[in-house]
Structure 1
């Protein structure tokens, strides 16, 4: 069910609880994205200005932060139908 602003309205208490968890996970995902950007900027500055790159930045970003960004935002994106959908076979299914 959609509210006047286009926002989804939870149907019961469980759905409302899951919506709050999804909102919190999206906030963590956004913080991880901000951390990625800050670490990359810091690494570039350290690499080119001081010739001392951060040796741990690639591992932290690749192993932890990218997965956090993707998986923590996944359920909220699915809830809002934000993924790309390819409806190639849909017209052929009865």
Structure 2
């Protein structure tokens, strides 16, 4: 599977999200924050773009291995994720 060849301008024109509301800040994201405007943290686009490229590479690797991974951040999602993986016979 070939990775898509996007540049940052194409992502911005497509409407990729490069900001988060200030009240929902995550301390780990401080290194990605450029500044604040109208109650929104503006993220540093180059760093965010590099993260997207890494995610695409990881996705391509999973597709080659025909493996699936589920990552949830809410405890309420644990049981539905477990049931879905069990039904897909990817987890026991």
Q: Which has the higher contact order (CA 8 A, sep 6+)?
A: 1
TM-score, structure 2 length as denominator? 0.31
Which of the two has greater helix per residue?
Answer: 1
TM-score, structure 1 length as denominator? 0.31
